[in-house]
Amino acid sequence: MSKLLIVTAPSGAGKTTIVRHLLQHFSNLAFSVSATTRERRAHEVDGVDYHFISVEDFKARIEAGAFAEWEEVYENQFYGTLRSEIERLWAEGRDIIFDIDVRGAVNLKNSFPEQALTVFVKPPSPEVLFERLRQRRTESEESLRKRIARASDELTWENKFDIVLVNDVLERVLAEAKAVAASFLNQ
């Protein structure tokens, strides 16, 4: 039976760095590309980083039951995991890794409790996280304020996940994530 490794964290905590590291080290692990209605950033590729779709299309897919999990993260800014994405990767016999927000992670774990492991990536402190978000310089001031407020809330979700990794020293957290993944995937 294929497994779901769900990596979650507030924005800026380092989950994407960890997911990319694990994808390099586990050949049977495949990345689940989430769908979103947010604007594509200059470096992002449709179908690789996200499936970029319109708000109308996203809402139609919600009505059709096309999502394993979804959320309106900000007003008219939706993110979700398409059932077709999971089914496609399972048909290839792959284990799947997810890089998703905390609510999506909880919802996905609830949908697949026997097959999923949730890993919460925690920054060393809220202040460090907020500084990482500021240093990205990918947001307007208003967008940054929204992300910081959301991240503050998401930090309170830590106890809802199977494993918590503190991302204070990158090499150490990458090694810990690799050990957790190896244990889970090789069960």
pLDDT tens-digit map of 44-74: 999 999 999 999 999 999 999 999 999 998 8
Instruction: Find where tokens 């150490």 sit.
Output: 172
Q: List the CATH number of the domain containing 161.
A: 3.40.50.300
Structural contact between residues 117 and 3, judged by C-beta atoms closer than 8 angstroms? yes
Cα separation, 81 vs 177, in Å, equals 22
State residue 183's pLDDT score.
97
What are the tens digits of pLDDT across the range 64-119? 999 999 999 888 999 999 999 999 999 999 999 999 999 999 999 999 999 999 99
DSSP secondary structure letter of residue 39: P
Q: Which has the higher per-residue pLDDT, 129 or 61? A: 61
| pLDDT, mean over the chain | 92
**Residue 138 banded pLDDT, cuts 50, 70, 90:** low
Overall number of domains in the chain: 1
Nearest to 9 by CA among 161, 185, 181: 161
Q: Please name the residue ranges forming H helices in the chain.
A: 15-25, 55-63, 83-91, 102-111, 126-136, 141-154, 170-185
Q: Calculate what percentage of the chain has a pLDDT beyond 70.
A: 97
Number of continuous H segments (helices) and E segments (strands) in the chain: 7, 9
Q: Which residues of 123-150 are buried (b: 16+ CB within 10 A; e: fewer)?
A: beeeeebbebbeeeeeeeeeebebbbeb
pTM above 0.85, yes or no: yes
Q: Range of 13's domain?
A: 4-185
Measured CA to CA, the distance from residue 155 to residue 96 in angstroms comes to 24
CA distance 130 to 107: 26
